[in-house]
């Protein structure tokens, strides 16, 4: 699975993208976020307030828990500020 980070999430995690292997820990977006929080202080901080983190799966916004597969692209980013 490909994971992308944008804006301040990227800055705080010092990472723009990574590839992780699919496991039960990331079978859906809720599980993935739970697992992310266990990866160290920076991750715990970034995922502490989910009100300010948006999630897209395969370049589409998701609403609610979403099942994930090996080939999925998951992106985490703050509310958008373009325009």
- Of residues 5, 13, 20, the one with CA closest to residue 70: 20
- Give min distance, CB of 57 to other proteins, in A: 10
Query: Of the candidates 15, 20, 53, 56, which one interacts with other proteins according to CB under 8 A?
Result: 56
Rounded to a whole number of angstroms, the minimum distance from the CB of residue 4 to other proteins is 7
CA distance 51 to 31: 17
Q: How far apart are CA 72 and CA 75, in angstroms?
A: 10
Least separation, in Å, of the C-beta of 24 and other proteins? 27
82 binds other proteins per the rule CB under 8 A: yes
């Amino acid at each position: 699975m490909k994971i992308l980070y944008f804006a301040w999430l990227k800055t705080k995690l010092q990472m723009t993208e990574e590839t992780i292997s699919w496991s039960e820990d990331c079978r859906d977006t809720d599980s993935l976020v739970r697992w992310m929080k266990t990866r160290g202080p920076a991750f715990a901080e970034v995922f502490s307030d989910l009100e300010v983190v948006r999630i897209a799966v395969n370049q589409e916004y998701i609403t609610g828990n979403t099942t994930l597969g090996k080939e999925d692209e998951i992106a985490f980013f703050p509310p958008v500020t373009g325009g």
